[in-house]
Amino acid sequence: MKRLQEVLHRRTISQFFNTLHRYKLLQILIPAAVIAFIYWEGKNEFQKIKWTGTLHTLHHMNPLTVLLLVGTSLAAVATVSVYDFVL
């Protein structure tokens, strides 16, 4: 009887570690899938951009407007970075 209890106890611990292992595997697989999806979609979007037209438009824009665009973009990234740092 005691041996059966030991076997059941070991099996319960083994199941616990198997469940924990599966959970850790999910913790790795889900973010990896999200990163892969973002990379794949981003790659497709960058291929759609007509870089010569974009550079031509930027060249003909008012320098102050370009500076405001860059400044606003940096402020947005800084805000999100601070938010992530605080969490």
> What ranges do the domains of the chain cover?
1-49, 50-87
Q: How many residues does the chain have?
A: 87
Is 3 a residue whose pLDDT tops 70?
Answer: no
> What is the CA 84 to chain-centroid distance, rounded?
12
pTM listed for this prediction = 0.51
Rounded CA gap, 9 and 19, in Å?
Answer: 15
Triad 76, 82, 83: Cα angle to 5°: 90
Report whether 49 contacts 56 (CB < 8 A): no
The tens digit of pLDDT for each residue in 46-86 reads 999 999 999 999 999 999 999 999 999 999 999 999 998 88
